Amino acid sequence: MVEVTRLNGKKFYLNPHQIEFLEETPDTIVTLLSGKKLVLADHIPDLIKRIIEYRHNIGITFSEFNE
The model's pLDDT over 10-42, given as tens digits with 9 standing for 90+, comes to 999 999 999 999 999 999 999 999 999 999 999
Which of 40, 33, 37, 36 is CA-nearest to residue 2?
40
What domains are defined for the chain? 7-11+13-65 (2.40.50)
Mean pLDDT of 7-11: 97
Q: Which residues pair with 13 in a beta bridge?
A: 3
Length of the chain: 67
Q: What pLDDT, on the 0 to 100 scale, is given for residue 65?
A: 52
Distance CA 44, CA 19 (A): 12
